Amino acid sequence: MGRYLPHDHGNKDIEQLQIQLDKLENFRILSDIFKHLGDSTRVRLFWTLCHVEECVLNLSTMMGMSSPAISHHLRSLKDAGLITSRRSGKEVYYKAADTQVAHLLHAAIEKAMAISCPK
């Protein structure tokens, strides 16, 4: 391990914890994801896109916001890798990314907020 703690409290897992704590990049990535979800509008957008693929115009109507404002939030979610987009003609459609992180965050949002997916 190389580092010794000032007090030994008998925790056998401390070396494994230290190995994980030293992986600073992993914590930075996770912090960035939470930063992107640090806005209630983006959380609402992300949750919505976990259930439906939709265009900016429809999302702006659903959210009661302007299209430019929705586009700004979508860009942030896309930069975080939480949503994807596809173009069909002139329309761009957005949906939640099919990744383990996106699935876990979706589940966490629903557990934390005690809201359920539409069936």
116: which residues sit within 8 A by CB, 6+ positions away?
A: 110
Taking residue 59's Cβ as centre, other Cβ atoms within 10 Å add up to 22
Contact 67, 57 (CB under 8 A): yes
Tokens representing 56? 């900016």
Element (H, E) at 74: helix 67-79
Residue 119, pLDDT score: 61
pLDDT grade for 2, boundaries at 50, 70 and 90: low
Eight-class DSSP state of 101: H
* pLDDT tens sequence across 99-118: 999 999 998 888 887 766 66
Taking CA atoms, 34 is separated from 79, 89, 113, in Å, by 12, 33, 16
Tokens representing 11? 């925790």
* pLDDT tens sequence across 49-91: 999 999 999 999 999 999 999 999 999 999 999 999 999 999 9
Report all structural domains of the chain as residue ranges with CATH numbers, in order of start: 12-113 (1.10.10.10)
The rounded Cα 81 to chain-centroid distance in angstroms is 8
Residue 37, pLDDT score: 82
Contact 94, 59 (CB under 8 A): yes
Residue 65, pLDDT score: 96
Residue 1, pLDDT score: 45
Residue 42, pLDDT score: 95
